[in-house]
Amino acid sequence: MSDRIKGLIDKLETEHTLKKEEWVELFDGYTDETREYAAKKARGVSLENFGNKIYIRGIVEFSNVCKNDCLYCGIRASNKNAQRYRLTDEEILSCCDEGYEYGFRTFVLQSGEDYNEYPAKRIADIVARIKQNHPDCAVTLSLGEMEYDDLKLMREAGADRYLLRHETATKSLYEKLHPEKMSFEHRMTCLKWLKELGYQTGAGMMIGAPYQTSEDLADDMLFLHDFKPEMIGTGPFLPHKDTPFKDMQKGSYELTLFVLSLCRLMLPRVLLPATTALGTIRPNGREQGVLAGANVIMPNLSPTAVRKKYMLYDGKICTEDSSSECRNCLSARMKRIGYEIEVSRGDYK
Ligand code: 5AD
Ligand code: FES
């Protein structure tokens, strides 16, 4: 059994792809031993491609207002308990200035789907100002689904990257996780546009989302293999108390680490963060993520005063800390496992 699983991991390492049945076999049959086998190989691939350097991205969560109602998400429109906030352009810019001092050379502007207040033109202006202040930096957007012309405008203003998790490659599962008015096809179309427009594009899924099966995860891997995103964001599903999924089981920490390793073996140069959700499910989850093949960490640059309000799931870490505390904490955490934070844009190569 374990030889069979190790054989599939070896095959993935050399061929960078597997058949659907083989992915399912991996997800159904892995053990601690085979997961560690994959982690060791994945870590080796990361070391070959990136050395012991970890890229950092500073996330500015500039608005938690969202018109969508994803069933899993704590900032969904129907959550009347969420205290909504919006940062001004000046506040966003000053988060980036502060981040620059701490060695960040990528800024991620993230929000709920809040286009009425932040139409593409406003974002484009903010992006242009960030690039003007810090020409050596990359700007990543993570604003949800948008139309082609809007994505184009922001790209032309200098945005380099865009994160839009596909959430699941299975349409029927997508429909269980999202309200009827959200469309699986539109999300996939957006991802295609992002690539066409020359954004370094990030896709990804939650691990252990409600109703997710090994088959669904296998389809996610096949999708990622075909789409070849420059980045993959993936972390465990964690319930939020004010959502319809409040009583659902959280995702598996071990499976998340295993998926990270498999992503690294499938797409050796992909930018792969050890996510905040992974650090939330286990105190040293992000370190273990790095040791399983991740090469990016994305700490928060939002003002401490609003951090608690950007609660996608319960228990989110770093909501009491300041940007400089997170930065120092991460350096220390990486050093402890033999890694170093790199001060550079950390583009996809
Ligand atoms: N648990 C884990 N991840 C979540 N996200 C949203 N809600 C949750 C949750 N409850 C993820 C989604 C989204 C990203 C910004 O955060 O995958 O794309
Ligand atoms: Fe905002 Fe999910 S509730 S994107």
Indicate if ligand 1 lies below 6 Å from the C-beta of 312. yes
In a domain, 93, yes or no: yes
Q: How far is the C-alpha of 286 from the C-alpha of 321, rounded, in Å?
A: 17
Residue 6 lies in a domain: no
Q: Is residue 11 part of a domain?
A: no
Query: For residues 101 and 315, what is the distance between their CA atoms, to the nearest angstrom?
Result: 28
Q: Is residue 133 part of a domain?
A: yes
Q: How many domains does the chain have?
A: 1
Q: Which ligand lies nearest to the CA atom of residue 204 in the structure?
A: 1
- The answer to whether the beta carbons of residues 237 and 217 sit under 8 Å apart is no
Q: Which ligand is the nearest neighbour of the Cα of 71? A: 2
pLDDT band of residue 24 (cuts 50, 70, 90) is very high
Task: Give the mutation target among 64, 67, 68, 245 for probing the ligand 2 site: most ligand atoms within 8 A of CB.
Answer: 68
Q: What percent of the chain has pLDDT over 70?
A: 100
Q: What is the pLDDT of residue 1?
A: 77
Three-state DSSP class for residue 6: helix
Residue nearest to atom 3 of ligand 2 (CA): 76
Answer whether residue 232 is part of any domain. yes
What is the mean predicted confidence (pLDDT) over 38-51?
98
Domain membership of residue 193 (yes or no) is yes
Query: In terms of residue numbers, what domain contains 176?
Result: 53-340
- Residue 226 forms part of a structural domain: yes
Residues in Cβ contact with 196 at an 8 Å cutoff, skipping those fewer than 6 apart: none
Give, for ligand 2, the residue of 66, 72, 80 to mutate: max count of ligand atoms closer than 8 Å to Cβ.
66
- Residue 129 reports pLDDT greater than 80: yes
272: pLDDT confidence band, cut at 50, 70 and 90?
A: very high
Q: Which residue has the tokens 């190569």?
A: 349
Write the pLDDT tens digit of every residue in 190-217: 999 999 999 999 999 999 999 999 999 9
Report residues whose beta carbon is within 6 angstroms of any ligand 2 atom.
Answer: 66, 68-70, 73, 75-76, 112-113, 144
206 lines ligand 1 (CB under 6 A): yes
| Structure confidence at residue 14 (pLDDT) | 98
Number of C-beta neighbours around residue 268 at 10 A: 15
Specify the CATH number for the domain of residue 254: 3.20.20.70
Ligand 2 atom closest to Cα of residue 70? 2
The whole-number pLDDT of residue 345 equals: 98
pLDDT (tens digit, 9 = 90+) per residue, 72-122? 999 999 999 999 999 999 999 999 999 999 999 999 999 999 999 999 999
Say if 47 falls within a structural domain. no
238 lines ligand 1 (CB under 6 A): yes
pLDDT at 199: 98
Closest ligand to the CA of 313: 1
Pick the residue whose CA is nearest to atom 2 on ligand 2. Answer: 70
Query: Ligand 1 centre and the CA of 198: distance in Å?
Result: 25
State the angle between helix axes of 214-227 and 253-266 in degrees (0 to 180), rounded to the nearest 10: 30
